[in-house]
Amino acid sequence: MKTIAITSFKGGTAKTSTSLHVAAALALFHKKKVLLIDFDAQANLSTGLGFDPDENDSLAPVLQNEKKIEEVILPTSIKNLHLIPADTWLERVEVTGSLAADRYSHERLKHLLAPLQYDFVFIDTPPSICWLTESALIAAEHCLICTTPEFYSIKGLQRMAEFLQAISQRHQLQVLGVMLSFWNKRGKANNNLIDIIEATFQRKLFKSKIRRDIAVSEASIYGKPVFQTAPKSRAAEDYLQLTREFLQRM
């Protein structure tokens, strides 16, 4: 089982869409058994798959030793794709109950995932440095970084590199790659921004880039991946290519 944290320290980088679509592509087209974990209290991943976060338990009661992890895993409409949804309780879970007094609480998620049997586990993290993000990175063997071709987004990668380096000194964690979303091949600053990425994460930039496509937003309304709502769209093409490159790197 391979565990991958999908991360970004800035919102609006298609982190959640990437989590959903790479996982869905692996299940739909590569016959992999995949678990998606929505570890962001905003619960966008959960709603993007058609779930109401107010109606289902997140990992919060599991982290508090009130439920077993198997009790919060839900089947989705896609065969072999399962979901642990998010809820608002996640936002303050580390300062409540048994976690508040546990000095090693960041490692609890890693131990919870260990017995599971999936080909891949993807953890969609909050767009910030927080307890949830750190716990996800400690639980993962790999992280996939999402960014956009914008100055502030790219510059934030340097801060992320320092944080990931600190994590990797204590836990086994490798950067699988950096993914660019909302890509416009005519962008005037593209080369300069790519140079910053290469300087920060050498040879980690994915060749596959995700172009801007309204089809992704429309798909979320139906609670399905774009492969099912607009299979001939640019986004479907781009995410399929990214998934193939992901498998090559794995």
2-249, CATH topology level: Rossmann fold (3.40.50)
121: enclosing H helix or E strand:
strand 120-124
Predicted TM-score (pTM) of the model is: 0.95
* Nearest alpha-carbon partner for 121 in 99, 96, 144, 105: 144
Q: In a structure prediction context, what are the per-residue pLDDT tens digits for the chain, which is 250 residues long?
A: 999 999 998 888 899 999 999 999 999 999 999 999 999 999 999 999 999 988 999 999 999 999 999 999 999 999 999 999 999 889 889 888 888 888 889 999 999 999 999 999 999 999 888 999 999 999 999 999 999 888 777 777 888 898 998 998 888 899 999 999 999 888 777 888 888 889 999 999 999 999 999 999 999 999 999 999 999 999 999 999 999 999 999 9
Residues 6+ positions from 7 with CB-CB distance below 8 Å: 15, 125, 133, 136, 137, 143, 144, 145, 146, 160
Question: Domain residue spans in the chain?
Answer: 2-249
Query: Which DSSP symbol is given to 205?
Result: B
Q: How far apart are CA 57 and CA 140, in angstroms?
A: 22
Dig out the tokens for 15 from the structure. 């982190």
